[in-house]
Amino acid sequence: MEIGIARKVLEAMREDLDRSILVLQGEHPRARGAGMEAGDAGANLTEADRNEAAVESARAQRAEVVAALTRVQDGSYGKCVDCGQPVPEGRLEARPTTARCVACQAKRDRRRR
CA distance 81 to 92: 13
Residue 33 main-chain phi, psi, to 5 deg: 95, 10
Residues sharing a CB contact under 8 Å with residue 12, sequence separation 6 or more, in sequence order: none
Nearest distance, CB of residue 86 and Zn ion, angstroms: 9
Q: Which is nearer to Zn ion, 17 or 101 (CB)?
A: 101
Residue 81 interacting with Zn ion (CB under 5 A): no
Options 80, 92, 96, 99; binder of Zn ion; rule CB under 5 A: 80
- What residues numbered 27-66 form the site for Zn ion, per CB under 5 A? none
Q: x/- string (CB under 5 A) for Zn ion, residues 87-106?
A: --------------x--x--
CB burial string 93-109: b at 16+ within 10 A, e below: eeebbbbbbeebbeeee
Q: Which is nearer to Zn ion, 27 or 82 (CB)?
A: 82
